[in-house]
Chain A
């Protein structure tokens, strides 16, 4: 068995059935081995960045390890954005690249780049294989590392000669299961019982720990008013009456107000990102904090915490749930106050009742949320549409909302949707994108067509980079700079060129029919939605300001039309 065959063998042993990749010179031995391997489905994307982002989407939607493969040099450098995206959002990913033959490393050989050196800051760990016999142990360790603790991408760079070299049938060490002592939760319960205004603050760590069900049970039975980060959307479930929605820069007034007033923050699986907290000086100024997280380096990183807890999140949540069921918290006044804030300051944008009116982003997303099946996976891109989805789509599970939270990668949505569709061929997967983001990985329409994936594409087209335009309007004296995209291609014709049918809508009375048409179609379909160029995401907190200083539509400086 050579190195390439061993990699495929390791995939089999770890039940990895789908990988995303693009061949090239130095990775050719692996592609040669794939010819004889029928157990691994290789998805050929049309750009290495899309391979990494598709592997990311696959991992987010399935909870499994995402795998991407590329050749040396430009293949590896094209992966970098996708791998950085996975790193920032702690997505379990295995990256395999070919490298120039061992003897040519350091000679500026054709398609040589120092992959190990240039990727140090965007991986959980990385390897440059220097001995074929070390490959088995490296493969085992890499797959374990990528998925354990706080997950993340692990990159293995393998010289071409070692892919071809015989790998001895070495016994590789199995990693010992880690023993984690169960934390004492008595102090946490004491703090929760002493609090008069506690808030449950959850993030992406819930689904990373596969603790979605236990979290939901805890949130419902504890009846704690709850806020979520962008990656935590869906954690409390759509029917939790105490869910105040997303906090932060584009969070709800209710969520930011409740955090501002609370006296205890119970933070679970979140890292207090600046987009969520705003200026830390003004963040939850009266609150003590309990921080539960898998990563010790997140404790006290940005804000001192009174109590830090590490351990198996499922066990912790079960213990807390049982304790609070035995003796519920006495926070009736606070619950009532938070509900009032939610009624007046939640995301309740009214639908536009005027049938011929232009389509607004919030109204479209609310209709989509009502019409799409409950288990629909929405893969967003980055920009205004991403925030409208976060604000107005009613998610019932965090794995239904795929979004580039940490890195904010335009071009994420389409390949992520491809990955999600491979994770479950029968699920409804919709890529909600903008005209700017769509063009960043539009070549992947060819991948959708090739594999006949029934991915639905919704392009919310405002003919500009809307989020940048909005910030230029609000924070740069309305001086628009390099945001105009009014020379976009005809997206409907473009989709059809890839043999993907497409529809165009522009009026409010066309929303329902447009959404129902693409959902009913048996195959991929694109819906082009023309929206106003001048529409903004409200509310907004100026970058660097406190979440108390939310700006709403009444502060708009533009003279142009207002939207609902």
Chain B
């Protein structure tokens, strides 16, 4: 039987526009992971030479830190933060 524990992890929505290139999504996901966030949902839409990506993320670190790291990526044109969706209670 798995132990029951409760943890609360903030959840965020983030939208990102980036150039179409060979490793676009991997590049984005790699930064999200190494900076301490987990991807809960991901939607990708191709828009000409760009990709529009919407992510729902969970993580305890400041989301502004991730935003500034994503903005550093050369192929990322824009990063927009949605409203923090509040504290989600997660049961493991």
A interface list, Cβ under 8 A from B: 116-117, 120-121, 124-128, 130, 145, 295-297, 299-301
Which stretch from B2-10, B50-58, B69-77, B83-91 is at the chain A interface?
A: B69-77
- Our pick among B26, B65, B75 for the contact of A300 (Cβ within 8 Å) is B65
Decide if A130 touches B22 in the complex (CB within 8 Å). Answer: yes
Compute how far the CA of A117 lies from the CA of B27 in the bound complex, rounded to whole angstroms: 8
Compute how far the CA of A495 lies from the CA of B12 in the bound complex, rounded to whole angstroms: 59
Decide if B68 touches A296 in the complex (CB within 8 Å). Answer: yes
Decide if B23 touches A120 in the complex (CB within 8 Å). Answer: yes
Known: A120-B23, A301-B65. A295 touches B72 (CB 8 A): yes
Write out the residue numbers on chain B whose beta carbons fall within 8 Å of the beta carbon of A128.
22-23
Decide if B65 touches A126 in the complex (CB within 8 Å). Answer: no
**B43 at the A/B interface (Cβ < 8 Å)?**
no
Decide if A120 touches B26 in the complex (CB within 8 Å). Answer: yes
Write out the residue numbers on chain B whose beta carbons fall within 8 Å of the beta carbon of A127.
21-22
Write out the residue numbers on chain A whose beta carbons fall within 8 Å of the beta carbon of B30.
120-121
**B34 at the A/B interface (Cβ < 8 Å)?**
yes
Compute how far the CA of A195 lies from the CA of B57 in the bound complex, rounded to whole angstroms: 41
Compute how far the CA of A130 lies from the CA of B23 in the bound complex, rounded to whole angstroms: 12
Decide if B26 touches A117 in the complex (CB within 8 Å). Answer: yes
Decide if B64 touches A121 in the complex (CB within 8 Å). Answer: no
Decide if B72 touches A297 in the complex (CB within 8 Å). Answer: yes
26 CB < 8 A contacts A-B: A116-B22, A116-B23, A117-B23, A117-B26, A120-B23, A120-B26, A120-B27, A125-B73, A125-B75, A127-B21, A127-B22, A128-B23, A130-B22, A145-B74, A296-B68, A296-B71, A296-B72, A297-B65, A297-B71, A297-B72, A299-B68, A300-B62, A300-B64, A300-B65, A301-B65, A301-B68
Write out the residue numbers on chain A whose beta carbons fall within 8 Å of the beta carbon of B27.
120
Write out the residue numbers on chain B whose beta carbons fall within 8 Å of the beta carbon of A117.
23, 26
Q: Which residue of B lies closest to A125 (CB)?
A: B74
Tally of B interface residues using CB under 8 Å: 17
* Inter-chain CB contacts under 8 Å: number: 36
Q: Which residue of B lies closest to A130 (CB)?
A: B22
Compute how far the CA of A296 lies from the CA of B64 in the bound complex, rounded to whole angstroms: 11
Known: A116-B22, A301-B65. 16 other contacts (CB 8 A): A117-B26, A121-B30, A125-B73, A125-B75, A128-B22, A128-B23, A296-B68, A296-B71, A296-B72, A297-B65, A297-B72, A299-B68, A300-B62, A300-B64, A300-B65, A301-B68
Compute how far the CA of A295 lies from the CA of B68 in the bound complex, rounded to whole angstroms: 9
Write out the residue numbers on chain B whose beta carbons fall within 8 Å of the beta carbon of A120.
23, 26-27, 30
Give the secondary structure class of B's interface. Answer: helix
A548 to chain B, nearest CB (A): 26
B36 to chain A, nearest CB (A): 12
Q: Which residue of B lies closest to A142 (CB)?
A: B74
Decide if A121 touches B34 in the complex (CB within 8 Å). Answer: yes
Q: Which residue of A lies closest to B65 (CB)?
A: A301
Identify which of A124, A125, A130, A295 gathers the most chain B CB atoms within 10 Å of its CB: A125
Compute how far the CA of A127 lies from the CA of B3 in the bound complex, rounded to whole angstroms: 45
Report the 5 A-B pairs with minimum CB-CB distance, sorted nearest first.
A297-B68, A125-B74, A128-B22, A120-B30, A116-B23
- Our pick among A124, A126, A296, A300 for the contact of B23 (Cβ within 8 Å) is A126
A108 to chain B, nearest CB (A): 18
B68 to chain A, nearest CB (A): 4
A303 to chain B, nearest CB (A): 12
Compute how far the CA of A127 lies from the CA of B22 in the bound complex, rounded to whole angstroms: 8
Compute how far the CA of A130 lies from the CA of B22 in the bound complex, rounded to whole angstroms: 9
Compute how far the CA of A128 lies from the CA of B62 in the bound complex, rounded to whole angstroms: 33
Write out the residue numbers on chain B whose beta carbons fall within 8 Å of the beta carbon of A125.
73-75
Q: Which residue of B lies closest to A149 (CB)?
A: B72
Write out the residue numbers on chain B whose beta carbons fall within 8 Å of the beta carbon of A296.
68, 71-72
A366 to chain B, nearest CB (A): 41
Write out the residue numbers on chain B whose beta carbons fall within 8 Å of the beta carbon of A130.
22
B85 to chain A, nearest CB (A): 23
B7 to chain A, nearest CB (A): 23
A144 to chain B, nearest CB (A): 10
Q: Which residue of A lies closest to B70 (CB)?
A: A297
Compute how far the CA of A297 lies from the CA of B22 in the bound complex, rounded to whole angstroms: 25
Compute how far the CA of A223 lies from the CA of B13 in the bound complex, rounded to whole angstroms: 48
Compute how far the CA of A112 lies from the CA of B84 in the bound complex, rounded to whole angstroms: 43
Q: Which residue of A lies closest to B27 (CB)?
A: A120
Q: Which residue of A lies closest to B73 (CB)?
A: A125
Write out the residue numbers on chain A whose beta carbons fall within 8 Å of the beta carbon of B68.
296-297, 299, 301
Compute how far the CA of A326 lies from the CA of B68 in the bound complex, rounded to whole angstroms: 37
Compute how far the CA of A185 lies from the CA of B26 in the bound complex, rounded to whole angstroms: 40
A114 to chain B, nearest CB (A): 9
Q: Which residue of A lies closest to B75 (CB)?
A: A125
Compute how far the CA of A120 lies from the CA of B27 in the bound complex, rounded to whole angstroms: 6
Write out the residue numbers on chain A whose beta carbons fall within 8 Å of the beta carbon of B73.
125
Q: Which residue of A lies closest to B66 (CB)?
A: A297
Compute how far the CA of A119 lies from the CA of B71 in the bound complex, rounded to whole angstroms: 19
Write out the residue numbers on chain A whose beta carbons fall within 8 Å of the beta carbon of B65.
297, 300-301
Q: Which residue of B lies closest to A302 (CB)?
A: B65
Compute how far the CA of A130 lies from the CA of B26 in the bound complex, rounded to whole angstroms: 17
Identify which of A126, A130, A297 gathers the most chain B CB atoms within 10 Å of its CB: A297
Compute how far the CA of A124 lies from the CA of B64 in the bound complex, rounded to whole angstroms: 20
B1 to chain A, nearest CB (A): 35
Q: Which residue of B lies closest to A157 (CB)?
A: B22
Decide if B74 touches A124 in the complex (CB within 8 Å). Answer: yes
Decide if A297 touches B26 in the complex (CB within 8 Å). Answer: no
Compute how far the CA of A300 lies from the CA of B69 in the bound complex, rounded to whole angstroms: 12
Compute how far the CA of A195 lies from the CA of B75 in the bound complex, rounded to whole angstroms: 41
A88 to chain B, nearest CB (A): 13
Write out the residue numbers on chain B whose beta carbons fall within 8 Å of the beta carbon of A121.
30, 34
Q: Which residue of B lies closest to A299 (CB)?
A: B68
